[in-house]
Amino acid sequence: RRGVLAEARTLPTVTLDGHPVGLQANVGSAADAGAAVVTAAEGVGLVRTELPFLSAARWPTVDEHLDHLVPVLRPLAGLPVTVRTLDFADDKLPPFLAAGLSGRLGRGLPLMLAAAEAFSDQFEAVLRAAAEADVQLSVMIPMVADVSELRACRKLLEAAAAAVGVPAPPLGAMIELPEAVESVEEIAAEADFLSLGTNDLTAAILGIDRRDPALTARRTADPPVLAAIAQVCAAGRGADIPVTVCGDAAADPWVAPLLIGAGCTALSVTPAVLDEVRALIRGLDFDDALSRADAVLESCD
Ligand code: PEP
Ligand code: MG
């Protein structure tokens, strides 16, 4: 079966009835990047950048970012690659941040915006690494809560691009907080793309810790979660921008059709399952996915 799936790598990711669905890879290392190329991902929907720094004693320097990022991006030369900025969340927090800070300011995007110099260093490093590796860069911001945060990020990114001497790349927002869903039309109007972080979003909407084993990828199909996802997709359509899913639900054979039916335009999955997800998309009837999603959403009202 593996051989058969591998043979399909040259085939387009369209449903049986011709609806295109983007298929990208999630990448955290050079090995992942190599696997994304082997499995013919059309691009990378998520490069996680915080992983090398989870035991850091201070903010990474530009050179430290470059040392980690360039080898990850190099195998991806020529491809569209979405690099996510540092996502230091409760479940991945280096000791120097875990120690002093507490509450919201100690986490996620508010933390990065409060540490503007460290954030600018990362933007500079990402721009330089992408140029060196020759990838088509997009930059993605995790844990966006409202449009003012995305605007603040764009300012820092544009300043970094001017300093490096390259054009500012497209900028997208991850939608993974219920607050972000509430104002998603405003965020979509300012973003070049949206990406659903279903791991965090599902946990937050259902009120379950994301480290709780009870929180499986399937829970993303729970009606209130799928309703939030459909609302995000509608905002994306309204603003004419893509809406990708980069959480684990994108790789779940039971949930992925519902995500496609709810209007998500691309799935970004770990390279290990990319062949399987391609086969799933190519075996799917889009009309059927639409009605399955509608049935879940109707159970919500
Ligand atoms: C998510 O929250 O769904 C996501 C893709 O990001 P992470 O798992 O890194 O928080
Ligand atoms: Mg997340």
The protein residue with its alpha carbon nearest to ligand 1, atom 8, reads: 199
Say yes or no: CB of residue 200 within 6 Å of ligand 1: yes
Euclidean distance between CA atoms 268 and 72, whole angstroms: 17
Which atom of ligand 1 is closest in space to residue 249's alpha carbon?
A: 3
Which atom of ligand 1 is closest in space to residue 200's alpha carbon?
A: 2
* pTM for the predicted model, two decimal places: 0.96
**Which ligand is nearest the CA of 270, by number?**
1
Residue for token pair 């990047």: 33
Nearest residue to 32 (alpha-carbon basis) of 86, 95, 74: 74
Which atom of ligand 1 is closest in space to residue 201's alpha carbon?
A: 2
Q: Are 47 and 83 in contact (CB under 8 A)?
A: yes
pLDDT digits (tens, 9 = 90+) for 278-287: 999 999 999 9
Q: Are 194 and 232 in contact (CB under 8 A)?
A: yes
Query: How much is the pLDDT for 102?
Result: 53
Beta-carbon contacts of 194 under 8 Å, excluding residues fewer than 6 positions away, are 172, 173, 174, 175, 184, 187, 188, 232, 235, 236, 241, 242, 243, 244
Euclidean distance between CA atoms 75 and 58, whole angstroms: 29
Residue for token pair 């409060």: 114
What are the φ and ψ backbone dihedral angles of 22, each rounded to 5 degrees? Answer: -65, 145
Euclidean distance between CA atoms 248 and 220, whole angstroms: 9
pLDDT digits (tens, 9 = 90+) for 11-24: 999 999 999 999 99
pLDDT digits (tens, 9 = 90+) for 211-224: 999 999 999 999 99
Angle between helices 30-38 and 62-73 (to 10 degrees): 20
The protein residue with its alpha carbon nearest to ligand 1, atom 5, reads: 247
Euclidean distance between CA atoms 181 and 199, whole angstroms: 15
Partnered with residue 139 across adjacent β-strands are 83, 171
83-92, 142-151, 249-258, 276-285: range with lowest mean pLDDT? 83-92
Exposed/middle/buried for residue 247 (C-beta within 10 Å: 0-12, 13-18, 19+): buried
Euclidean distance between CA atoms 213 and 144, whole angstroms: 25
Average pLDDT over residues 87-112: 75
Q: Ligand 1 pocket: which of 88, 219, 246 to mutate (most atoms <8 Å of CB)?
A: 246
Rg of the Cα atoms in the chain? 18
